[in-house]
Amino acid sequence: MPLETVKLTASFKLDGSIPESLFSTYREVLGQLLDYAWVKGVTSFKRLRTEKYHELRAKYPSLPSHYIYTACQMACSIYKSFRKLKRRGLAKAEKPLFKKQVIMLDDHLFSLDLESWKASIAVGGGRVRLKLLHGTYHEKFKEMMIGQAWLVKSEAGFYLKVVFSKTVELAESNGRAIAVDINENNVAFGSTERVKNIETGERAIRTTYFLKRRRLQLKPRLNEKTLMAKYKGRERRRVEDIYHKLANQIVDEAKGLKASTIVLEELANIRRRIRRSKAINGRLNRWSFRKLQEIIEYKAKLAGLNVTYVDAKGASSLCPICGVKLSPNGHRRMECSVCGLEEDRDIIAVMNLLRRHQMDVGASPVHPEGPPMIKEGRDESLF
Ligand SMILES: [Zn+2]
């Protein structure tokens, strides 16, 4: 069976503080490594470490040595993404810079005690032990391995973001798949047997918070900034909560239909679609799509299902049987002038994604006619 590693990040707020000197020293080290990587064109962590470690070790003797390793790792990945952006003409700066208050930690630099909710972090001259406050932690992390972490300083305090990982066995592909079509306010998913269409209610949530924020901007108060952050956090949590429940339903549906694979839309197309719809309402965002896909992907993999991405260009506007452009036929329905197919556009999208997946894996399409539609509204007990 194919093996795959699932990685999840948990974020904990730390009760207490980390010496400012650790952040400033780390930023200095990282800055020097970034300059060096940029001047010499170094993208390899091993080379950067070989060429710079001893010099930096001697220059910062009180800094625990593993911080130099993690700074080398960060410098390489920052320089690599800078170079990529530069090539595409998207980087404005002359050279890569990193101004955020972020420190990367490896397993020598921190440890977690999830029984007593404490973290221990190496600083110059010893370790600080801090209590962990609320976090995006879930029981399922208990059986996972702890990998690297990030120490983040923000206006609200210090945070520890820890990467948990687990190796899972994925099912052998059995030719059965379900496809997921994500829209601003509904998500359609299903197989050739049936398609479910769930209204997410995301638009209403986004509108509510959009109005709250605007009211605040029109009538500023002293605690405006705190309130803004609070609204933002609440909005994000409400939307993420919906995504988690939705993803559970999708995984359950895949298991119920004995599918081995979940088919998602490739991001490139999602970007195009957002650009197009931005002109219409401006509230549909790329973050939402990617976030929901991420949640579906890790939940699917933890359940042993394969996840694959297919090009979704024109998925809701082309005939899944003959490939010609469909014409709208009343509310959300589409009609094919060649073969006469008439179907809801969400079903069309799911059918096209499934067909493209079948073409990718070299199978012949089954059930060319549309599946029966099970229309489901927002289930209050779930959301
Ligand atoms: Zn047709």
* Amino acid (one-letter) located at 257: L
CA of 325 to the centre of ligand 1 (A): 8
CA of 349 to the centre of ligand 1 (A): 13
* Amino acid (one-letter) located at 49: R
Contact status, residue 158 vs residue 152, Cβ threshold 8 Å = yes
pLDDT bin (cut points 50, 70, 90) of residue 370 is low
CA of 264 to the centre of ligand 1 (A): 23
Distance, in Å, from the CA atom of 382 to the CA atom of 176, rounded to the nearest integer, reads: 27
CA of 333 to the centre of ligand 1 (A): 14
Cα-Cα-Cα-Cα dihedral of 67, 71, 74, 78, to 10°? Answer: 160
Q: What integer pLDDT is reported at residue 372 of this predicted model?
A: 57
CA of 46 to the centre of ligand 1 (A): 55
CA of 335 to the centre of ligand 1 (A): 8
pLDDT > 90: percent of the chain: 57
CA of 322 to the centre of ligand 1 (A): 4
DSSP 276: H
Q: Which of 20, 18, 16, 22 shows the shortest CA–CA distance to 124? A: 22
pLDDT of 281 > 50? The answer is: no
b/e burial code for range 47-86 (CB count within 10 A of at least 16 → b): ebbebbbeebeeebeebbebbbbbbbbbbbebbeebbeee
Q: Which of 195, 127, 134, 122 shows the shortest CA–CA distance to 159? A: 134
Q: What integer pLDDT is reported at residue 76 of this predicted model?
A: 96
- For the record, the structure tokens of 162 come out as 């820890």
CA of 350 to the centre of ligand 1 (A): 15
CA of 318 to the centre of ligand 1 (A): 8
Considering only CA atoms, give the Rg of the chain.
Answer: 24
Rounded to the nearest 5 percent, the helix, strand and coil shares of the chain are 40, 25, 35
Least confident range of 41-45, 86-90, 278-282: 278-282
CA of 365 to the centre of ligand 1 (A): 14
Helix, coil or strand: residue 264: strand
pLDDT of 382 > 50? The answer is: no
Helix, coil or strand: residue 135: strand
pLDDT of 368 > 90? The answer is: no
- The model's pLDDT over 89-147, given as tens digits with 9 standing for 90+, comes to 888 888 998 889 999 999 999 999 988 899 999 998 889 999 998 777 777 788 899 99
Residues with CB under 5 A from ligand 1 (ion): 319, 321-322, 336, 338-339, 341
- The model's pLDDT over 298-315, given as tens digits with 9 standing for 90+, comes to 999 999 999 999 988 888
Q: What integer pLDDT is reported at residue 378 of this predicted model?
A: 47
* Amino acid (one-letter) located at 105: L
Of 375 and 171, the one with more pLDDT = 171
CA of 173 to the centre of ligand 1 (A): 29
Of 188 and 278, the one with more pLDDT = 188
pLDDT of 286 > 90? The answer is: no
179 by Cβ neighbours in 10 Å (0-12 / 13-18 / 19+) ranks as buried
**Helices marked H in the chain — which ranges?**
20-40, 45-59, 66-87, 202-218, 224-256, 267-278, 286-302, 345-360
CA of 272 to the centre of ligand 1 (A): 24
Q: What integer pLDDT is reported at residue 158 of this predicted model?
A: 94
Contact status, residue 353 vs residue 181, Cβ threshold 8 Å = yes
CA of 353 to the centre of ligand 1 (A): 15
pLDDT of 383 > 60? The answer is: no
Distance, in Å, from the CA atom of 288 to the CA atom of 247, rounded to the nearest integer, reads: 13
Of 63 and 224, the one with more pLDDT = 63
Of 376 and 118, the one with more pLDDT = 118
Residue-averaged pLDDT of the chain: 87
CA of 265 to the centre of ligand 1 (A): 22
